[in-house]
Amino acid sequence: MTQHIFINEVAARDGIQAIHTPINLAGKLALINACAAAGVQAIEACSFVSPKAVPQMADADELFAQLPDTDRIQYSALVPNLRGLERARAAAVQEIAVVLCATDTMNLRNIGLSLAQTIAMCIDTIHAAEQYGMRAKAYVSVAFECPYEGLVQASSVLDLCDRMIQAGASEIVIADTIGAANPRQVKDLIGECVKRYGAQRVSAHFHDTRGFALANVWSALEVGVRKFDTSIGGLGGCPFAPGAAGNVATEDVVLLTEQCGFSTGIDIAGLRQAIRVAEGLVGYPLGGRTRAWLDVQDKKQTGQKLS
């Protein structure tokens, strides 16, 4: 039986949060609708954070009320704390994500709290979400390397994962926030997570700063992971991590896994249309590692002359 790869499309949140050009509500809905039309089954729609900290997410409450295909698509929202959780609850969010950076300095730069304070805040938020009947997953960010403290010990990351699972997180997302991981590190760390929590409770989030994102996806696949965060056209970055490149491109992961015998239920042509929508919003070309090849396929299908 063909194994299914579960893609969580993050362009609408992680992809655009650091874009300086304001994207209005209609634009965000157009992007989400295009991803939905391509067959995406899960979408990180927004974050309920302070508008002063992340102005691009200021309309999260309005956005969630207008999301399409809510009976088919699993929507989630990032919440930083109990205040954000209350906003998410009021917007009828069913799945939330908390983010815990693996180092003290990154937490301080990101949200102005120490690692210990962030752990406590995440635990409180997960507990409250559980009481509200909401599913909560936990990201462990800069899980391989921190832009301020350097390499992160796997034992430290695993300790944080243990604490989030014990708090009630239904899923752990190991995030290579600045795109610094290599396939061997991915195999070791994420492989241990799979052993501890089971593959169904582990997801991976890669950025492509050093060009290793697809190789890291494959390494995670080899240890049993079947859930990945991706972003159409490689859109993304981290406003608090200098030099971080975009997320691994959805079309790259879909193409890789489908050609290797997995299924995603996502249509490449639909993704290409979603990328065009995203390009119109951000004002510059987008595309992952497979862009040039996909451009050639488009020309072949339309009968255009290849240059």
Exactly one of 35, 46, 101, 238 is catalytic; name it: 238
Q: Which residues contact 133 (CB under 8 A, 6 or more apart)?
A: none
CA nearest neighbour of 64 among 37, 84, 46: 46
Catalytic residue flag (residue 193): no
- Return d(Cα 37, Cα 280) in angstroms, integer: 17
Contact 42, 263 (CB under 8 A): no
The residue written with tokens 């300086």 in the block is 20
Tell me the catalytic residues.
238
